[in-house]
């Protein structure tokens, strides 16, 4: 399941359990070596293995389009899918695997996991379903017709987009910075774990750790590499694949399970300066709504050209961008940028949500492309 595996093929297994994620699913199997699709060597045990080791040996491997959000980097060690186990160098996934890393996306998408108030920041509701639909169509063509799926896009050590840690500007109003990603210690489940038998019901965390990296971010705090939806390429705020728990939710400052966070930009320069927000306001970024909509159209069209968006989703994305203001003419630069938003319960006044509404599902005639 993305960067982890389910608790499957063990005695008394529970297939709904996934790899450890914040305060959830702690100490269940599924997060141990191997992490990559190709064969690698465990630096601590000398064991050689890979996700596709058995099918590679029998020449029966499937074609894979692997999608992950930013949450997987922070919660589940996604970086280890494309690096060596010590996080020192990039590796090369097999030819039958594509890895689409969805930039600045939260695992839960438009459906948050935690109740309101548990996470310290407003939800990141960026809708990544258009990428899922494109992935399904691409995989279908790859299997049926032999048309290769679009190339992998993910952060890499070599170009500086996959790094040990990141720091967002502490002056961003409402920001609650995470301490760092979940670590990947080596766990001792007992001598028969390879046979599916857990000898230590509460495993022992060893001193050995696999090195986890996270995507680098730009000056706004948005991730810089991977598959960027127009929401991220033409931003209206800082979108994160992680969030932290609030004091109300308990475990203050710990990663907030599978949810991400979104902190909108100020609407005007005056508002930005009043809030001491270091990020340029919407009115400073975009001349008017037509400018904003045109940039969204360019970003969506580029993704369609490269095979990452379907034509129907491009139209929906562009149409939505064109109707985000309250009037046909865009206000002057120091006037209100009228993106339709709503204040979330419990959020301070400066965190007016500018996250767009989720894209509508495709019409009935396009149902064949749905996920």
- Mean pLDDT in order along the chain per 10 residues (371 residues): 75 79 77 93 96 96 97 95 98 97 96 95 97 98 97 98 96 97 92 92 91 97 98 97 95 94 97 98 95 97 98 96 56 38 35 49 43 29
Phi, psi of 207, deg, nearest 5: -75, -20
pLDDT digits (tens, 9 = 90+) for 13-34: 887 777 777 677 778 887 889 9
**pLDDT for the residue 332:** 41
Phi, psi of 289, deg, nearest 5: -65, -35
What global pTM score does this model have?
A: 0.87
CB crowding 11-30: b at 16 or more within 10 Å, else e: eebeeebbbbbbbbbeebbb
**pLDDT for the residue 343:** 33
**pLDDT for the residue 359:** 66
Sign of CA pseudo-dihedral 212, 88, 97, 241: positive
**pLDDT for the residue 1:** 56
Residues near 299 by beta carbon (within 8 Å), at least 6 away in sequence: 228, 229, 230, 233, 234
For 194-334, where are the E strands, in sequence order?
A: 204-210, 214-215, 237-240, 261-264
Closest CA to 121 of 323, 328, 357, 344: 344
**pLDDT for the residue 371:** 29
**pLDDT for the residue 15:** 79
**pLDDT for the residue 360:** 61
């Amino acid at each position: 399941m993305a960067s982890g595996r389910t608790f499957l093929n063990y005695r008394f297994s529970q297939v709904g359990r996934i790899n450890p994620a914040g305060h959830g699913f702690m100490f269940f199997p599924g997060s141990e070596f191997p992490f990559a699709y190709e064969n690698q060597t465990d630096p601590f045990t000398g064991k050689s293995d890979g996700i596709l080791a058995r099918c590679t040996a029998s020449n029966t491997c499937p074609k894979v389009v692997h999608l992950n959000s930013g949450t997987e980097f922070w919660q589940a060690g996604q970086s280890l899918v494309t690096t060596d186990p010590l996080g020192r160098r990039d590796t090369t996934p097999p030819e039958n695997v594509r890895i689409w890393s969805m930039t600045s996306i939260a695992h839960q998408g438009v459906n948050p996991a935690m109740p309101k108030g548990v996470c310290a920041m407003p939800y990141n509701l960026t809708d990544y379903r258009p990428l899922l639909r494109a992935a399904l169509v691409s995989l279908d063509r790859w299997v049926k017709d032999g048309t290769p799926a679009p190339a992998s896009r993910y952060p890499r050590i070599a170009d500086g987009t996959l790094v040990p840690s990141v720091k967002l500007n502490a002056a961003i109003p409402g920001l609650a910075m995470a301490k760092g990603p979940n670590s990947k210690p080596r766990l001792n489940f007992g001598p028969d774990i390879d046979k599916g038998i857990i000898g230590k019901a509460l495993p022992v965390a060893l001193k050995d750790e696999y090195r986890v990296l996270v995507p680098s971010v730009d000056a706004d705090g948005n991730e810089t590499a991977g598959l960027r939806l127009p929401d991220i390429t033409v931003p209206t705020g800082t979108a994160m694949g992680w969030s932290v728990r609030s004091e109300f939710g308990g475990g203050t400052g710990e990663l907030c399970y599978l949810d991400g966070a979104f902190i909108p930009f100020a609407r005007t320069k005056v508002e930005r300066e009043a809030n001491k927000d270091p990020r340029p306001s919407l009115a400073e970024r975009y001349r008017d709504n037509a400018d904003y909509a045109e940039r969204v159209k360019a970003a969506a069209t580029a993704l369609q050209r490269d095979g990452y968006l379907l034509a129907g989703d491009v139209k929906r994305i562009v149409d939505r961008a064109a109707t985000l203001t309250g009037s046909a003419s865009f206000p002057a630069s120091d006037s209100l940028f009228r993106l339709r938003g709503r204040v979330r319960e419990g959020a301070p006044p400066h965190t007016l949500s500018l996250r767009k509404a989720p894209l509508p599902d495709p019409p009935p005639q396009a149902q064949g492309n749905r996920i």
